[in-house]
A = this chain, B = another copy of it.
Amino acid sequence: MKTEEVTPIKVEKTAGSRIGEVDFSKLTFGSVFTDHMFVCDFKDGKWQTPEIKPYQPLVLDPSARVFHYGQAVFEGMKAYRDEQGQVWLFRPEENFLRINKSCERMAMPAFPEDYFFDGLRTLLKLDEQWIRGGEGNSLYIRPFAIATEPSVMASPSSEYKFIIICSPAQSYYGGEVRVKIADHYSRAASGGIGSAKAAANYGAQFYPTSLAQQEGYQQVIWTDANTHEYLEEAGTMNVFFRVGNTLLTAPTSDRILDGVTRKSVIAVAQSRGINVEVRPVKVSEIIAAAKDGSLKEIFGSGTAAVINPIAGFGYKEEKFELPQIDNSYASLIKKVIIDIQYNRAEDLFGWRYKID
């Protein structure tokens, strides 16, 4: 008989749940958190006993390295409740593997797989009431790791915290999204950290994104920093272009996040017989396609919204509107993925992960 080793997690339950104070019909993304959090400290060269405790502030020395050198990584994933009340995750092994890839690039220690999954399961069971059923409802899960050694030496920290916090989320419709194609600012360098989900990649985009917003766009589609000729990805989404009946998306590289939704979109599209080309996509070919009418759709893919259709884009002085179309690939693929996420369809790809 196989003995299952279970991670010894120290659990301290909250004295009273805050759930009664929360209006689940009026949630702002990422600002309300569940009753508990998972915390594991790295020191003396190893990860210590993980703990689950009431959601509470972190107490850190002002010299903790995360404040000074941005040594920090994160993940974003979601839990969904199906019509029978069962809770599911979507491809969490991908997030686990990716956070450890991010850790490696940021010179941070890898987090153990059993701590991650046992922690996640225990936390989700404890805060189960926070996961609401119904279309669009989910629990956004934010694992992250930060450098905590109290010293401003510019070198990798010897101490870290790995934390998981959870925030209830509704489906969010923020209006039509128009994007600006970057022609000056950039997100990531070749040989840089663009393919890591490192904190550092995000703050860096806020200023150029705010400039784009002043021009009336909601987001930026980043191009390669060398030439600005190739389309890469958006701030928190990979990007797909439908030209004729072909779906185009940039290959992953050390500048582009290898999105879980992106690879799911590719798999679903291919399983539906849609031709997908994963290859460098030129700004000029998309503009030419917009002009000759063969550009049918642009959409972003990411955990937050699964698929985010894009209504128009701007490049330098020119603005383009996408056509209204029936049978969009965006809607088709989104439906397949969310039906899997909510356990309304057969899990042909083996993507669901049961929480029990």
| Residues in chain A within 8 A of chain B (CB atoms) | 28-31, 33, 37, 55-72, 74, 104-107, 140, 142, 144, 146-147, 150-156, 163, 165, 167, 182, 184-193, 198-204, 206-210, 225-226, 228, 235-236
Jot down 22 A-B pairs with beta carbons below 8 A, ordered by A: A29-B152, A37-B62, A55-B62, A58-B60, A67-B72, A68-B202, A69-B202, A70-B199, A70-B200, A70-B203, A71-B202, A71-B203, A72-B203, A106-B204, A147-B203, A152-B167, A154-B236, A155-B206, A186-B189, A186-B190, A186-B191, A198-B200
Residue of B nearest to A203 (CB): B71
How far is the CB of A78 from the nearest CB of chain B, in Å? 13
Copies in the complex: 2
Residue of B nearest to A67 (CB): B146
- CB pair B225 A70 closer than 8 Å: no
Contacting residue for A31 out of B63, B105, B106, B167, CB 8 A: B63
Residue of B nearest to A211 (CB): B107
- CB pair B192 A186 closer than 8 Å: yes
- CB pair A30 B153 closer than 8 Å: yes
Complex Cα distance A33/B151, Å?
Answer: 9
How far is the CB of A181 from the nearest CB of chain B, in Å? 13
Given A186-B189, A210-B107, also A68-B142 (CB < 8 A)? yes
Complex Cα distance A336/B106, Å?
Answer: 38
Residues of B within 8 A of A70 (CB): 70, 72, 198-204
Residue of B nearest to A149 (CB): B31
Contacting residue for A210 out of B60, B146, B150, B156, CB 8 A: B156
Complex Cα distance A182/B28, Å?
Answer: 44
Residues of B within 8 A of A155 (CB): 206, 209
Residue of B nearest to A74 (CB): B68
How far is the CB of A32 from the nearest CB of chain B, in Å? 9
- CB pair B156 A152 closer than 8 Å: no
Q: Name 19 extra pairs, CB < 8 A, besides A30-B152, A192-B225.
A: A28-B153, A29-B151, A31-B150, A31-B153, A58-B59, A63-B142, A66-B199, A67-B144, A68-B142, A68-B144, A68-B199, A69-B206, A72-B203, A106-B207, A142-B152, A185-B192, A199-B200, A200-B203, A226-B226
Complex Cα distance A187/B201, Å?
Answer: 12
- CB pair A225 B191 closer than 8 Å: yes
- CB pair B69 A31 closer than 8 Å: no
Complex Cα distance A249/B11, Å?
Answer: 57
